[in-house]
């Protein structure tokens, strides 16, 4: 491939990494806003949604241009395709951060039930997956995500545990129903964010090895 192609591909990879910084920041700030019941921080997360979408479009446009102009093959082709997959997953992670931030507005008027149940632990577990997946992509090191199947299982188990705890609190006091229903939604968003971290891990493995794996 020409030097021009190498420059364009490096730019595409850099754009995807920058999108990762934005999506990861939205996720982290949304969780912090939830824990601290910080409506101002939650609003700042929601305000970043447009910028996240714009970055996705830039990655897509640049990737399609590379495919059209240079028709890359082998690992170069896998790198471009992986950027598209990673960018899509990052957009969803950021969107789930925005969804969590939206919930803050519904439940910021009264103290949390039992310190948010297991949600902070679940959120930390998912954040670690996102960080590892992005680091693996940035460093081209798929060994960092070898244990993602077991990590995803732990996230699923935490989500189910939160659901059971919420049912118990709702049965004990109907006044807890709305708040616990929102907790269940947060747990669902966290679970889906973990799934998209797995997608980034799958794309990284494909980019480096050409192997198509499904982490589940």
Q: In angstroms, how far is CA 135 from the centroid of its own chain? A: 13
pLDDT at position 216, please? Answer: 78
| Percentage of residues of the chain with pLDDT beyond 90 | 97
| Domain CATH number, residue 18 | 1.20.58.220
Residue 176 domain-assigned? yes
Mean pLDDT of 97-118: 94
Q: Is 80 exceeded by the pLDDT of residue 160?
A: yes
Give the CA distances from residue 64 to residues 73, 76, 83, in Å, rounded to whole numbers and listed in that order.
14, 13, 11
Residue 144 domain-assigned? yes
* Domain span including residue 74: 3-209
Number of structural domains (the chain) is 1
pLDDT at position 1, please? Answer: 57
Predicted confidence (pLDDT) per residue in 108-131, tens digit:
888 999 999 999 999 999 999 999
Residue 214 domain-assigned? no
How much is the pTM?
A: 0.96
Residue 216 domain-assigned? no
Residue 205 domain-assigned? yes
Residue 96 domain-assigned? yes
Q: Is 70 exceeded by the pLDDT of residue 199?
A: yes
Residue 42 domain-assigned? yes
Lowest mean pLDDT among 103-112, 144-153, 182-191: 103-112
Question: Mean pLDDT score of the chain, rounded to an integer?
Answer: 96
Q: Is 80 exceeded by the pLDDT of residue 64?
A: yes
Residue 215 domain-assigned? no
pLDDT at position 212, please? Answer: 94
Query: Got the DSSP string for 33-100?
Result: HHHHT-HHHHHHHHHTHHHHHHHHHHHHHHHHHHHHHH---HHHHHHHHHHHHHHHHHHHHHHHHHHH
Predicted confidence (pLDDT) per residue in 165-179, tens digit:
999 999 999 999 999
pLDDT at position 2, please? Answer: 79
């Amino acid at each position: 491939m020409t030097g021009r192609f190498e420059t364009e591909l490096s730019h595409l990879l850099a754009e995807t990494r920058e999108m990762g910084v934005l999506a990861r920041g939205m996720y982290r700030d949304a969780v912090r806003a939830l824990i601290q019941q910080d409506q101002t921080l939650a609003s700042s997360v929601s305000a970043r949604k447009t910028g996240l979408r714009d970055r996705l479009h830039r990655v897509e446009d640049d990737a399609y241009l590379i495919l059209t102009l240079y028709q890359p093959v082998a690992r170069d082709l896998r790198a471009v395709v992986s950027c598209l997959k990673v960018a899509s997953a990052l957009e969803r992670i950021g969107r789930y951060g925005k969804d969590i931030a939206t919930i803050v507005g519904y439940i910021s008027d009264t103290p949390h039930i039992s310190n948010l149940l297991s949600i902070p632990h679940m959120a930390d577990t998912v954040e670690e997956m996102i960080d590892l997946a992005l680091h693996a992509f940035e460093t081209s090191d798929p060994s960092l995500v070898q244990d993602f199947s077991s990590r995803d299982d732990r996230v699923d188990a935490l989500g189910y545990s939160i659901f059971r705890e919420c049912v118990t609190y709702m049965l004990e006091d109907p006044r807890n129903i709305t708040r616990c229903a929102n907790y269940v939604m947060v747990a669902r968003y966290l679970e889906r964010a973990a799934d998209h971290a797995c997608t980034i891990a799958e794309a990284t493995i494909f980019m480096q090895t050409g192997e198509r794996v499904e982490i589940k």
